[in-house]
Amino acid sequence: MAAEADNIKQKIVDTVKKEYRFQMVNMFEGNVSARLGDRVFITPSQVDKEIMTAEMIIETDLSGKIIYQPEGLKPSSELKMHLEVYRIRPDVRAVVHNHSTYATAFAVNAMPLVSEALTEMNLTFGEIPVVPYGTPGTEKIYKDFDKYLGNRRAVLLANHGVLAFGADLPTAYSNAEAVEKIAQTLFIARQMGQESKIPSEEIAALRGFGSQMRDAEIAKAK
């Protein structure tokens, strides 16, 4: 268990640094967590991502009680938001929250990511809704999660950013990266003109099959 925990801590740091490298977060923005059984590992608050190490990762239980906390550090202010995702979705083992530019722009405008022109988006995500605004770092930010998480792989947080999740850290990060790429593509395509829509019956089939796949992943984890 100790070796697995150490591996998860390092993967969290690797994920954070990758996000920073690709400008999905600023130096002190965003947070990443992973779940191992009834333990949660999460990034510390207000630590420069360039100097963050695995030893700085904080450990809690599923209620948020601190199990391990390096001296002088405290868990991300969004810890309870991460714990709420794990409570609602037993299949989720990793959560990535960032402020990637294009996806956050959609969130700021309360515009869900939805399109009948992107094949992969409709299969993988269906659509990416905007969760109504709640004050960051408080329970208000996740008060509507029960209504929005469903079988989704990501949501936008109104006026705030992106929340992506998955069965492991690479999957959660990949979902976050995909959300940003979708937002970029839709923004550019809409500047160029009207989207060329996929036939409606094909969209329905893509969304239906994608939803079935996500449901199966959740059922398998129970």
Residues designated as active site: 78
Count Cβ atoms below 10 Å from residue 194 Cβ, excluding itself. Answer: 8
Spatial separation of the C-alpha atoms in residues 219 and 168, rounded to whole Å: 16
Q: Is 89 helix (H, G, I), strand (E, B) or coil?
A: coil
Spatial separation of the C-alpha atoms in residues 125 and 200, rounded to whole Å: 17
Closest CA to 94 of 140, 154, 27: 154
Residue count of the chain, please give it: 222
Count Cβ atoms below 10 Å from residue 82 Cβ, excluding itself. Answer: 29
